[in-house]
Chain A
Amino acid sequence: MDHMLTRSLDRAATTFMIVVAACGILIPLSNMLLPAGSMFQVPTYLVALWGKYVCYAILALSIDLIWGYCGILSLGHGAFFALGGYAMGMYLMRQIGARGVYGNPDLPDFMVFLNWQKLPWYWYGFDMFPVALLMVVLVPGLLAFCFGWFAFRSRVTGVYLSIITQAMTYALLLGFFRNDFGFGGNNGLTDFKDILGFNVQAEGTRAALFALSCLALIIAFLICRAVVSSKLGKVLIAIRDAESRTRFIGYRVESYKLFVFTLSACMAGIAGALYVPQVGIINPSEFAPGNSIEAVIWVAVGGRGTLIGAALGAVVVNYAKTFFTSGALAPYWLFMLGAMFVLVTLLLPKGIVGTFNSWWEPFRARRLTDASAAREDGVSAPKMAE
């Protein structure tokens, strides 16, 4: 395992993790320790907002893992994100206890409102955090496994697969909209009070959630790096580039796709679970097909098949979204998002990081050869600057 990790970390990956870790430590500290109004103090609303971006970055990583490395274009990954979010939301609902509007200690408000007498069986256990945490990973993972089992065995690929992933998330959207589904219908789950006994609204909790999200991003990144730099990663790229050739060499392509698709869905679920306490609500609109497509755009903008690019793309596009939707340009945001996608496809087909890499590669190669030449001359190689 140690070997797998060391092999997977190059300079860019290490830098990325250091930057994320620094954000994860410094932003909460500045928020908590510095006096409000100070130049370096990060206000609480920004901590929550950036926390959201970090969750999106994890979702983007999970999409890049399957799309960038294995060629599986899922246009329904928002479904796994939302399912993880709902699992967390159910735990948070149960934590409300008797503090709801109707004061029922067992039933969440919306169930009382619907005149339900007892908790549906699928809500059992969600009052326990470990169970909820398990479900955050298990439910998206299981759905992805079943979905992938049928889709990949039937060799559904390309645009057909994309379409059925859209259908999947749309079906879930319709389902979760229904009141009798038992997940709060149209309104979803909200009005959360506590998480593990801490007030979700409190500054300290928000700072901790932000730090945890950054930690989750680092772990997700490490897992992705370990996967793509293993031999399995080479097989994934082989499948992406020449699927039938890979079969003729004797690889069971559907097993590989199933593995990576399920792993990716679990990661998306975790991202959703971290997202919900930070935004304070989960409702069926998270299943909207548009959300999933937007997440794919983040990856395209940042650079597919680069991992770092996916995370970066999620942050850049969402920052732009926040920036543009809060001003006079707000009604035109969707046009700008569309234009961004078209422009990136036309001008930067490799995305931000991919384009940067192709500029940087010749320089780096030269510096490496210079360095090794210097070493051969008996001169100690100059330390390469980043």
Chain B
Amino acid sequence: MNVMDNRATSALLYLDGVHVAFDGFRAINNLSLTLEPGEMRAIIGPNGAGKTTMMDIITGKTRPDQGTVLFDGVTDLTRLDETRIAELGIGRKFQKPTVFESQTVEDNLLLALNVDHSVKATLFWRGSRAESERIDRVLETIRLTDARNRLAGSLSHGQKQWLEIGMLLAQDPKLLLVDEPVAGMTDVETHQTAELLKQINRDHTVMVVEHDMSFVRALGVKVTCLHEGTVLAEGTIDQVSSNERVIEVYLGR
């Protein structure tokens, strides 16, 4: 990069030629993918296609062996750790809902708010009206207002998934990575989650990994199908689901 404000790309997230191998197994193989600001993208693909590994790379959990990962056109994510990347504005929801079970719903959101996360700031923290209003808004969005004082561990599976999405909202990142948000949800919950993600997409760029094809269809966004660590097909849901190779390796005949 020659000049600081000279972005290498207009994309919010830019992956090019990324390789990762674990003990010789090529989990990610020459993966290239771009995500435009404001876009929502659905990622599909069979088990072991590298979907979660890709998220690990973007969030700093795994270092790629080679390749470029740029955020906002300027920041090289491969050099930063998880905390730094989260501070930059990349939030992540895990496949298995991971909330802080022994703390209340409200405290979970409070912890996720994107305020100063230094030791000193949290030690001398005093709640502010602006913070509690933000928490109220998030609680409303994820329909957990009545459960605000309940321990997160006592929530149902679907509610935990929402709480985790709520934590992402509180974090207010530029980019949300959402790993299998509807796994284990009822049809009604799945439908509500699709609506929720669409609502979130109004102000945020979102990348969703999901197996549930009816959910992906309900989102109605551009779809990328991964296979063996590389992009197999990309396009609308109809284009991708009619692709011969996709049908062969993933959807089945």
Residues of A within 8 A of B (CB): 3-4, 227, 230-232, 234-235, 237-238, 241-242, 244-253, 255-256, 259
Within 8 A of A (CB), among B88-133: 91-92, 94, 98-103, 107, 110-112, 114, 117-119, 122-126
Could you tell me the distance between the alpha carbons of A247 and B171 in the complex, rounded to whole angstroms?
Answer: 12
**Interface residues on chain B, size class:** 20 to 34
Min C-beta distance of A372 to chain B, whole Å? 14
B103's partner among A234, A253, A255 (CB-CB below 8 A) is A234
Name the residue on B nearest A227 (C-beta).
Answer: B123
Cβ–Cβ contact B83 & A251, under 8 A:
yes
**Contacts of B167 on A, CB cut-off 8 Å?**
249
Cβ–Cβ contact A242 & B124, under 8 A:
no
Name the residue on B nearest A255 (C-beta).
Answer: B119
Cβ–Cβ contact A250 & B107, under 8 A:
no
Min C-beta distance of B80 to chain A, whole Å? 12
**Contacts of A242 on B, CB cut-off 8 Å?**
98-100
> Would A245 and B119 be within 8 Å (CB), given that A231-B110, A231-B125 are in contact?
no
Min C-beta distance of A65 to chain B, whole Å? 13
B155 at the interface (CB under 8 A from A): no
Cβ–Cβ contact B117 & A252, under 8 A:
yes
**Contacts of B91 on A, CB cut-off 8 Å?**
248-249
Name the residue on B nearest A242 (C-beta).
Answer: B98
**Contacts of B171 on A, CB cut-off 8 Å?**
249-250
**Contacts of B33 on A, CB cut-off 8 Å?**
none
20 interchain pairs, CB-CB under 8 A: A4-B124, A227-B123, A231-B110, A232-B125, A234-B122, A237-B102, A237-B103, A238-B100, A242-B99, A242-B100, A246-B111, A247-B81, A248-B82, A249-B167, A250-B83, A250-B87, A250-B171, A251-B83, A252-B118, A259-B123
The 4 closest A-B pairs by CB, nearest first: A250-B86, A231-B125, A232-B122, A247-B82
Cβ–Cβ contact A247 & B83, under 8 A:
yes
**Contacts of A251 on B, CB cut-off 8 Å?**
83, 111, 117
**Contacts of A259 on B, CB cut-off 8 Å?**
119, 123
**Contacts of A245 on B, CB cut-off 8 Å?**
94, 98-100
Could you tell me the distance between the alpha carbons of A232 and B119 in the complex, rounded to whole angstroms?
Answer: 7
Cβ–Cβ contact A241 & B102, under 8 A:
yes
B59 at the interface (CB under 8 A from A): yes
> Would A255 and B98 be within 8 Å (CB), given that A235-B111, A237-B103, A250-B86 are in contact?
no
Cβ–Cβ contact B100 & A3, under 8 A:
no
Name the residue on A nearest B153 (C-beta).
Answer: A241
Name the residue on B nearest A4 (C-beta).
Answer: B124
Could you tell me the distance between the alpha carbons of A199 and B174 in the complex, rounded to whole angstroms?
Answer: 67
Min C-beta distance of B236 to chain A, whole Å? 31
Could you tell me the distance between the alpha carbons of A247 and B87 in the complex, rounded to whole angstroms?
Answer: 10
Cβ–Cβ contact A247 & B122, under 8 A:
no
Could you tell me the distance between the alpha carbons of A256 and B118 in the complex, rounded to whole angstroms?
Answer: 8
**Contacts of B119 on A, CB cut-off 8 Å?**
232, 252, 255-256, 259
Residues of B within 8 A of A (CB): 59, 61, 81-83, 86-87, 91-92, 94, 98-103, 107, 110-112, 114, 117-119, 122-126, 167, 171
Could you tell me the distance between the alpha carbons of A244 and B94 in the complex, rounded to whole angstroms?
Answer: 11
**Contacts of B61 on A, CB cut-off 8 Å?**
244
Could you tell me the distance between the alpha carbons of A4 and B127 in the complex, rounded to whole angstroms?
Answer: 11
Name the residue on A nearest B83 (C-beta).
Answer: A252
Could you tell me the distance between the alpha carbons of A245 and B61 in the complex, rounded to whole angstroms?
Answer: 11
Cβ–Cβ contact A230 & B111, under 8 A:
no
Cβ–Cβ contact A238 & B123, under 8 A:
no
Name the residue on A nearest B82 (C-beta).
Answer: A247
Min C-beta distance of A4 to chain B, whole Å? 7
Cβ–Cβ contact A230 & B123, under 8 A:
yes
**Contacts of B94 on A, CB cut-off 8 Å?**
245
Cβ–Cβ contact B100 & A241, under 8 A:
yes
Min C-beta distance of A87 to chain B, whole Å? 26
Cβ–Cβ contact B100 & A237, under 8 A:
yes
Min C-beta distance of A309 to chain B, whole Å? 16
Name the residue on B nearest A231 (C-beta).
Answer: B125
**Contacts of A235 on B, CB cut-off 8 Å?**
111, 122
Name the residue on A nearest B152 (C-beta).
Answer: A241
Cβ–Cβ contact B125 & A247, under 8 A:
no
**Contacts of A256 on B, CB cut-off 8 Å?**
119
Min C-beta distance of A266 to chain B, whole Å? 15
Could you tell me the distance between the alpha carbons of A3 and B87 in the complex, rounded to whole angstroms?
Answer: 29
**Contacts of B101 on A, CB cut-off 8 Å?**
241
> Would A255 and B123 be within 8 Å (CB), given that A241-B101, A245-B98 are in contact?
no
Cβ–Cβ contact A249 & B112, under 8 A:
yes
Could you tell me the distance between the alpha carbons of A246 and B167 in the complex, rounded to whole angstroms?
Answer: 11
Min C-beta distance of B115 to chain A, whole Å? 9
Most buried by A among B94, B114, B117: B117
Could you tell me the distance between the alpha carbons of A3 and B124 in the complex, rounded to whole angstroms?
Answer: 10
Could you tell me the distance between the alpha carbons of A234 and B127 in the complex, rounded to whole angstroms?
Answer: 13
Cβ–Cβ contact B123 & A244, under 8 A:
no
**Contacts of A234 on B, CB cut-off 8 Å?**
103, 107, 110-111, 122
Could you tell me the distance between the alpha carbons of A3 and B126 in the complex, rounded to whole angstroms?
Answer: 9
Min C-beta distance of B164 to chain A, whole Å? 9
Could you tell me the distance between the alpha carbons of A244 and B118 in the complex, rounded to whole angstroms?
Answer: 17
